[in-house]
Chains A and B, each alone.
Chain A
Amino acid sequence: MTNPNSWLNRYVNTLPERGWFNFLSRYVVVPYWIWKEPRPKLPGGPRPSPQPSESVQRMMNLIMPLKDPSPAGRARATMAIAQNVDEIFAGLDNVGTVHFARFLLIDDNICMISVYDGDFSNYIRDFITTIGSVFDDVVSLVEGGEALLPTEHNVEKFIDWVHDHDLFQAPDFPTDLFGLQDAAKGLAPNKPPHMLESLPRDLILQLHANRNISLGGGYRAYPGVSAAQVRRKFGQGW
């Protein structure tokens, strides 16, 4: 039987906080497992669901890497949004299913964060219809964006591109990651079940495949309610 109070045991318990161990983990252990058991990148956006409340207040976390991340390039991205505020706001009003939307500059990315109701493809399609010209300005500044221009004529391609740049939404329940990884490999989820102790490794390898992720589906103060219902209830509808 191991003595939990032995010097060696106490030292091993502190390994995850020790610099040399983290260096070893970062540059040797994790790369080895990435090589040995790579995980496919999991798709972005909310997953299909039959529940009505899953079809409202859906999250979009669109991360678009800038071609020119210098301050001047970031200023160009800022101007692309600032010069089109009227068009963006009018377009969002016309789409009608958006609760919140905002653009952010984070490091080398321009990000669009929004909460919307209904189908993802329809949301993007409506967007292109209403503010496609703004997206042309933004996408022209983004890596790989030139192939999508003009977005109005490349709607399906643009939808796929947005889906690819929308963050993977980690499941609300951690063990659901097993099934999502199985599905990404074309396997039946949890057949056979995974070893529970492998969950940390699966998560680490997934975070290599999906560098940025949304941590769960988020909190909602009034779940299950659409933007249209909120506006109608408060007498602000159209």
Chain B
Amino acid sequence: MLHVLPGQSEYISKTQAGGDMDDTGMAEKLVRVLQRPDGDTALRPVHTFGISATGFFEPSPIAGNFCVAEHFNTAKTGVIVRFSNGSGSATRRDGWSDVRGMAVRFHLTDNRDTDLIAMTLPEFFAPTPKTFLEFAEEAAPAPYEGQTPWQKILSLIQLKLPKRDPYPGETISPDDGAIRFADQNAYAQLGVLQAATIGAPTSYVRAAYHAVHTFIVTAPDKTQRWVRFTWQPIAGVLRTDPNLPPVDDYLDAELQDRLGKEPARFSLMMSIGEIGDDFEDPSRPWPPHRIRVMMGTLTLDAVSKNQLELCEKLSFNPGLLTDGIEASADPVLHIRKESYEISSEWRGATPCPFSQR
């Protein structure tokens, strides 16, 4: 018998039904549309460049009160984490403004794993696979030239922000298409705005990462809660100076150097949703006033030595969950499970955990 918190009961039937998707072939279309002309099909279509590190997760003393999952009830759980740049370009551009990713795999007992995949953008661009496909098609990288000085002056006189200048070496960009899409679809505006202004972190461990989707966690008394997770860096958030020329390759070396001297830590915060929140729409973040529970601390103490096997070939999946944590009916979360499998297969990676069954 499950107990559902007040205000959350109306969602249970849709969730248990697994949503109302009719997305035949959608996952494949999504992976295909995300492949950039300047990408490499042997690599990931997005979040192409990354680095993995290892460490452990320690739950907070109260985490087990909220979730029965093993890693919230075990003193220490080993992890591997892949940090990444969001772009699918095959040329590394650490210093460009871009969303960053943080995929965490918790190594549970009996050779089981569970993943939590997060990014620096606090919301997704679209609420459904269909609308995300439309977004991705419109935002396909296209030639980017910025504005002429006269166009910038006109923008300033109209109290609009001028477009940024292209970065050195930047010839194509998704920016114009993304903004064009957001002008027609209000749900995409927050994500597009924040992605355009997100900047570059000084370190992968100096950014906050949001898991954007809603998950359902089960407590020991069977109470179920609809929640969202965020990793908060203990070192604090710090971006590079956008007025300085961007540096193309510094994040991997910074992480290696940092972890060679001392561990890096993140707090795992869990926000509990309430009636009226968008449980199934990842394009809509929850306000910062929801009850927030500190679920534990992640400590990273080493960069993986074999980056080919333990980073590039590794296949994470947001659908790789464990007892005590379920996917909500969020249709984007469900399609991502399939898309990650396809992406893994196409680039010849170590098979996704779902493929091994």
A interface residues (Cβ-Cβ under 8 A, vs B): 1-2, 4, 6, 8-9, 11-13, 15-16, 21, 25, 29-30, 33, 49-54, 57, 172-176, 178-179, 190, 193-201, 204-205, 216-217, 219-220, 223-225
Contact = CB atoms under 8 A, between A and B. Distances in A.
A50 B153 contact: no
Interface stretch (B100-108, B214-222, B253-261, B283-291): B283-291
Given A2-B147, A2-B148, A174 B159 contact: no
Interface residues of B, number: 40
A2 B291 contact: no
* 5 closest residue pairs by CB, A with B: A201-B159, A224-B291, A4-B165, A190-B186, A50-B276
Interface in B244-291: 272, 274-277, 285, 287-291
B161 A197 contact: yes
A173 B190 contact: yes
Contacts of B291: 53, 223-225
Contact of B159 (A15, A30, A51, A219): A30
9 contacts: A9-B149, A15-B152, A15-B156, A29-B157, A51-B287, A173-B190, A194-B189, A204-B159, A224-B290
A12 B274 contact: no
Given A25-B156, A53-B291, A193-B186, 5 more contacts: A8-B149, A173-B190, A193-B184, A193-B189, A194-B186
B153 A12 contact: yes
A9 B165 contact: yes
Nearest to B274: A51
B152 A12 contact: yes
A219 B20 CA distance: 36
Contacts of A225: 291
Contacts of A172: 287-288
B353 interface: no
A21 B193 CA distance: 26
A175 B187 CA distance: 10
A49 B107 CA distance: 40
Interface in B170-205: 179, 182-186, 189-190, 192-193
Contacts of A219: 288
Contacts of B272: 224
Contacts of B287: 51, 54, 172, 217
Contacts of B78: none
B157 A15 contact: no
A193 B159 contact: no
B290 A223 contact: yes
Contacts of A50: 274-276
Contacts of B145: 1-2
B6 to A, nearest CB: 8
A109 to B, nearest CB: 27
Nearest to B273: A51
A82 B285 CA distance: 44
Contacts of B185: 193
Nearest to B7: A52
From B152, B189, B292, residue with most partner A Cβ within 10 Å: B189
A173 B159 CA distance: 20
Given A15-B153, A50-B275, A224-B291, A175 B190 contact: yes
Contacts of A57: 289
A198 B148 CA distance: 19
A196 B192 contact: yes
B160 interface: yes
Interface in B32-54: none
Contacts of B19: none
B159 A200 contact: yes
Nearest to A28: B157
B158 interface: yes
B146 interface: yes
A74 B23 CA distance: 67
Nearest to B168: A4
Given A49-B276, A50-B276, A224 B189 contact: no
B179 A196 contact: yes
Contact of B165 (A13, A29, A174, A194): A13
A2 B157 contact: no
B111 to A, nearest CB: 38
From A193, A194, A198, residue with most partner B Cβ within 10 Å: A193
B289 A53 contact: yes
Nearest to A33: B159
Nearest to B180: A196
Contacts of A15: 152-153, 156
A174 B190 contact: yes
Contacts of A54: 287, 289
